[in-house]
Amino acid sequence: MNKKQLSSFKTHKITIKKPFKFSYKEKIVCPYCQNTEDFYEVIENATFIVYYVQNDEGMLEPIEEDVEVLGPVRFFCGKCHADLTLLKNRITSGKE
């Protein structure tokens, strides 16, 4: 086939757009006081292990820390102190 014969064929350009993932993070809002900024967690039955090395002057310097959580972790509003553990678990796991 020469160039003239190729130009008589209709050509189409197909553009395919692939779907992209949009990572959307929902903000936690306290349903009691509408707080969106201050929160805290309470960890029950946890063991903190701190490893130290002693320097020449006799002072202890921490070099490593390990935490072992054996009990539940509860999440609270920092303003009205309401227990929001279920709300946080639902949002962070992506389940509604």
Q: Is pTM beyond 0.85 here? A: no
pLDDT digits (tens, 9 = 90+) for 30-83: 999 999 999 999 999 989 899 999 999 999 999 999 989 899 999 999 999 999
Write the secondary structure of 30-53 as one string of H (helix), E (strand) and C (coil): CCCCCCCCCEEEEECCEEEEEEEE
Write the secondary structure of 59-90 as one string of H (helix), E (strand) and C (coil): CEEEEEEEEEECCCEEEEECCCCCECHHHHHH
Number of neighbours of residue 34 by Cβ within 10 angstroms: 10
